Amino acid sequence: MTQFKNAMEVYRLLDKSNCKKCFLPTCLAFAGAVFTGHKQLHECPNLSRDLIAQLGGDTLAVAPFDQIINDIMQKLQKEIQSLDLQETARLLGEEFSGGRLTLKVLGKKFSVDANGTIFTEIHVNPWVAVPVYKYILKGAKKEITGDWVPFRELPDGREGASLFAQRCEKPLKKLADITTDLFDDIIHLFSGRQVENYYDSDISIVLTPLPKIPMLICYWRADAEMDSDLKIFFDAAAEENLDADSLNSLSTGFTRMIQKIALRHS
Ligand code: SF4
C-alpha cells in the first residue's frame, strides 16, 4: 500500500465533489482520515478500483457484508433527510443546535445534520453508525429498566445469539485474556464505569453505546477449574429502543473499535 506523506496527497486523488458517500462531510475530511488510518481508499466509491489497485490498496477489502452495510447506511441516510430533526431531538430528549441533532455514543458527541451527515469526535464504523441512525429514526422512547438480560433472552435475541457470541463476546474475551488493562482502556476511552461485580464476575463495567442502550460487560478470570469467560448483557427494555439486529451490529462495531485500539497498542 502506498505510504502517503500527507493528507493532501490523498486529497489530490479524490474528485472533490464532497458527495458524502464515504459518510464524511468533505473529501478533505476523508483524505485526513485515510492519512491517519481511520479510513481506507476503497471507502470512497468514486475512486476508480484500478487506481486503488495501482496504489496497492485492497479493492477486494469491501467484503459483501460490508458492501451491504454501506448500502443500508445510504438508505437510512435518506430516511433521516425526511425527519424533522429538531422535533426528533425533542422527543429523544437530546440536544439540537446549529441544525444538528447531537447525542452521546460511547460517551462521545455524535451529531447528525438534516442531510444525514455524521459529525463525531471519534471514528465510528458503519456497524455503529447504522444502529445510531435506527435509534434516531425509531425515536427511542422507552426508559431504562435497570434489569440486565443476556442477548439471547431479549424478545428477538434467540436467533442472532450465536452470531452475537461469535462476533462480540468471544473476541472481547480473547482480548481480555491477553490485555491486562483492556477494561481500564474501555473505561477511559468510552466513558465506561466499573460497577459492583454482577453474577460473581471478577470485573463488571457498564458502557452506554447509546443513551437508552446501556451495556454490561462481565468478565470472569480463568482459575484452576474453569476457563475465563466474558458475557455482555443489555437492559431488559433495550429492544424497545433498538431491534435485535441493530443491537448485534452496535456490539460488533464496538468490538471492532476495541480490537483496532488493542492492535495499535500492541
Ligand atoms: S465519497 Fe469520495 S468523493 Fe464523496 S465525499 Fe467522500 S471522499 Fe469525497
In this predicted model, what pLDDT tens digit does every residue of 167-218 receive, in sequence order? 999 999 999 998 878 888 888 889 999 999 999 999 999 999 999 999 999 9
Taking CA atoms, 221 is separated from 10, 96, 100, 194, 225, in Å, by 45, 43, 43, 16, 11
What gap in Å lies between CA 80 and CA 27, rounded to an integer? 21
Give residue 1's pLDDT.
57
Which of the four pLDDT bands, split at 50, 70 and 90, describes residue 67? low
Cα(82) to ligand 1 centroid in Å equals: 22
Residue to substitute in 11, 12, 44 for testing ligand 1 pocket (most ligand atoms within 8 angstroms of CB): 44
What gap in Å lies between CA 184 and CA 91, rounded to an integer? 34
pLDDT tens digit sequence for 111-161: 999 999 889 877 777 888 889 999 999 988 889 999 999 999 999 999 899
- Residue 63: pLDDT above 50? no
From the CA of 24, give the closest atom in ligand 1: 6
Please report where in the chains the cell 445510504 appears, as a residue. Answer: 74
Ligand 1 and 115: CB distance under 6 A: no
Question: Roughly what angle, to the nearest 10 degrees, separates helices 126-138 and 244-265?
Answer: 150
What gap in Å lies between CA 35 and CA 10, rounded to an integer? 7
- Residue 58: pLDDT above 70? no
